[in-house]
Structure 1
Amino acid sequence: MNFKDLGISESIVNVLSKNGISTPTPIQKESINIVKNGCDIIAQAQTGTGKTLAFLLPLFENISIDNNNIQGLILTPTRELAIQITEEAMKLKEGKDINILAAYGGKDIGAQLNKLKRNIHLVIATPGRLIDHIMRGTINLKNLKTVVFDEADEMLFMGFKNDIETIMKDVPKKSQVLCFSATMDSAVKKLAYRYMNDPSVISIKSKEVTLDNIIQEVVETTDRNKQDALCKCLDKDNPFLSIIFCRTKVRVDKLEQDLARRGYNCAKIHSDVKQSKRERIMKSFRNADIQYLIATDVAARGIDVTGVTHIYNYDIPETVESYIHRIGRCGRAGEKGYTCLFIDPKNKSMLEEIENTIKFNIPKRQLID
């Protein structure tokens, strides 16, 4: 099956082809026709499965450029994810010239207001900034056809439930609602069903898309010796591009300071880093000017950078889903990836939970001086 079979127009198929995309992923095969036909959808799929195009492609097909109203709205939990989706959408503009507005905090609202004076067809936004525009009367959703919740589980986890309720009051009742989420717990289902009409439910298992190409290892250490253990791994592996995950912003700050002092080419990203600086760091990382990105889970959620070869879990994640999210950022598009998880004795039960869920005993890595 190809994109033409899914009803994607030739001009957009050509853009995809130019960007090296010729075969739909499982989530795209399952979703695109359903979305094109105007039905509601609840889709469970990990980052890295092609879910952004699973909603962007049918949105582009369904938006009428002769209609000068906002017809599509994509809500994301983080600015980074909003930027990433906007970049994907801007590539597709070559196939169909749709006017797009990215609305997120930390970006000059004046520039957004100026852009809104033109006819906008598609808005990609974080909840807080969208509400700001709704309150100012600068964004009108009364002609909206489709609303997308991307990373719905993360939006709930980050406390956006009330914001979503506020936004949905301005969304026409007959609008199509699409909910994409990495996990499908009861809170996500409750949110989805509240605004949906007889939705189709799609679930793409993470195993087939995120773990097959990834070598996983564990390093047993103590918190005191963890940094030295990490540096031994970095020196031996010398990855092309790597993300190092820490549990908290304080841990990210300390590790970045210590690694920089040791001479590693690194930068940090978390919610306290100014938006303009985060964008500069992400651009440098994408261009491979920075080798190591040190991040919290929330800041890195949805980041999809081509060429990430290694993931180091400096701190063990709090959930199995977070572990799968983290390691799924390498080993993309058929490439091999490598991940290393650092654990101390108190992490043993979480490691067992991870291994039981992914049905794989992660081998130990021995560090030799």
Structure 2
Amino acid sequence: MPNSSAPQDWKNSLKLPPRDPRQRTEDVTKTKGNDFEDYLLKRELLMGIYEKGFEKPSPIQEESIPIALTGRDILARAKNGTGKTAAFTIPLLERIDTSKNEIQGMILVPTRELALQTSQVCKELGKHLGVEVMVTTGGTSLRDDIMRLHAVVHVMVATPGRILDLAMKDLAKLKNCTMLVMDEADKLLSPEFQPIIEQLINFCNPQRQICLYSATFPVTVKQFKEKFLKKPYIINLMEELTLKGVTQYYAFVEEKQKVHCLNTLFSKLQINQSIIFCNSVNRVELLAKKITELGYSCFYIHAKMMQSHRNRVFHDFRNGNCRNLVSSDLFTRGIDIQAVNVVINFDFPKNSETYLHRVGRSGRFGHLGLAVNLITYDDRFNLFRIEQELGTEIKPIPPTIEKSLYCA
């Protein structure tokens, strides 16, 4: 069990001054100067947008919202943490007709945590519209889902396996679903999910709109695009922006020195919140135990935990009940916790895609972040290859790290 004893003043400190907007990176500040009113959205939706704290559209929102409102298919590539979720939820909510008791929009995501987070954004943005949002994921009560489907549902946020099960049982009726959004599309089109996705599409309205959003697009996405998308509008905001705002370092260590090195980082860095990644479930639990023994507050999360436990850890970490989270790659996709300013790869990832998604947990929505990689002798070739593939530089860690690089 993770240790949840975090000082109360730490929790409150997360809710203190927002980060200095002058320190936000241009992947969220370099806009065309549009306002949300420019898209002729319903007044009730605008109320939800402004109450959520959004002031002006980010670049991905500027590119995506007006096109999505026309009903055209979209293939959008943008860095994690730049406002992708609102880029597709705003046009989806705008197009819902609340006078009809039918599922009209569906958002597919690869993990339960992301489903819960995305559904919450939908509910907050659409609270004045009367749009009914349902979230359904594997590992939860099928009976509860069946009961919920007897009431009004306009938007479904789901993981693919569960919603396909409901559709095949004719419990979730998708024939009037005209907008299908796939977030973290690269993961959804991996061999694990793609056959399920293709079956699901056949349950949707033949005149459906399909919108794909991701930070990376492997070749599987190209094949899917050619088969299912009709002249999609391509948005690519990733050139030169892949890891903007995140300062990356490596520390060359022996395996047995890693915990000591981590302890040193904790004592020297000004951490708002950190996520520490390991390459296996066992190492996640062992490291969380070590960190707790060192006297630091620490949670852990991985795919083999009970879903109720995962939900509690995610909720408590997001609410600032703990400073550090040890995680497997379960937690790399789309999880948006703006207080996270430090990511530590306790185990270095095997490929550039995983590295990109892990490091993207810091520097959310244009704020600055820090990534520290603990590199063993066996990792040296992976380090070089990932630098080359991402066109980035991971520098040797200096004796002291300037706080201005990753703190407001």
TM-score (norm 1): 0.94
Structure 2 residue identity aligned to 1:344: T
- CA offsets, 1:206-247, max 9 Å, x none? 643x63322222111011211211111112225121100111
CA distance in 1, matches of 2:372, 2:55: 32
Given the alignment, which residue of 272, 281, 296 partners 1:264? Answer: 296
CA distance in 2, matches of 1:211, 1:190: 27
Structure 2 residue identity aligned to 1:331: G
- Which residue pairs with 2:354 in the alignment? 322
Matches of residues 1-369 of structure 1 in structure 2 within 5 Å?
1-157=34-190, 159-205=192-238, 207-208=240-241, 211-366=243-398
CA contact (8 A) 2:35 2:56 kept: yes
CA contact (8 A) 2:387 2:394 kept: yes
CA contact (8 A) 1:207 1:358 kept: no
Give how far 1:346 is off: 1.7
CA distance in 2, matches of 1:91, 1:18: 8
Secondary structure of residue in 1 paired with 2:36? coil
CA contact (8 A) 1:65 1:98 kept: yes
Query: Identity across aligned pairs (percent)?
Result: 34
CA distance in 2, matches of 1:11, 1:271: 38
CA distance in 2, matches of 1:185, 1:61: 31
CA contact (8 A) 1:7 1:33 kept: no
CA contact (8 A) 2:215 2:238 kept: no
CA distance in 2, matches of 1:299, 1:211: 18
CA contact (8 A) 1:9 1:61 kept: yes
Structure 2 residue identity aligned to 1:62: R
CA distance in 1, matches of 2:109, 2:43: 29
Structure 2 residue identity aligned to 1:343: I
Give how far 1:37 is off: 0.5
CA contact (8 A) 1:226 1:342 kept: yes
CA distance in 1, matches of 2:130, 2:350: 43
CA distance in 2, matches of 1:180, 1:173: 21
Give how far 1:349 is off: 1.8
| Larger CA deviation: 103-112 vs 264-273 | 103-112
Task: Structure 1 unaligned segments of length 5 or more: list them.
Answer: none
Task: Structure 2 unaligned segments of length 5 or more: list them.
Answer: 1-33, 401-408
In structure 2, relative to structure 1, the CA distance for the partners of 1:361 and 1:162 (3 Å cut) is closer
Give how far 1:190 is off: 1.0
- CA offsets, 1:159-206, max 9 Å, x none? 111211221221222211111122122201212332111111111116
Structure 2 residue identity aligned to 1:21: F
RMSD: 1.8
| Larger CA deviation: 172-181 vs 64-73 | 172-181
- CA offsets, 1:301-349, max 9 Å, x none? 1111121111111111222232222222222244322211110122122
In structure 2, relative to structure 1, the CA distance for the partners of 1:367 and 1:344 (3 Å cut) is farther
CA contact (8 A) 2:359 2:371 kept: yes
Structure 2 residue identity aligned to 1:190: Q
CA contact (8 A) 1:77 1:158 kept: no
Secondary structure of residue in 2 paired with 1:211? coil
CA distance in 1, matches of 2:345, 2:190: 21
Give how far 1:29 is off: 0.9
TM-score (norm 2): 0.85
CA distance in 1, matches of 2:248, 2:113: 26
CA contact (8 A) 2:36 2:56 kept: yes
| Larger CA deviation: 274-283 vs 165-174 | 165-174
Structure 1 residue identity aligned to 2:217: M
Across the two proteins, how many residue pairs are aligned to each other? 367
CA distance in 2, matches of 1:40, 1:333: 25
CA contact (8 A) 2:248 2:393 kept: no
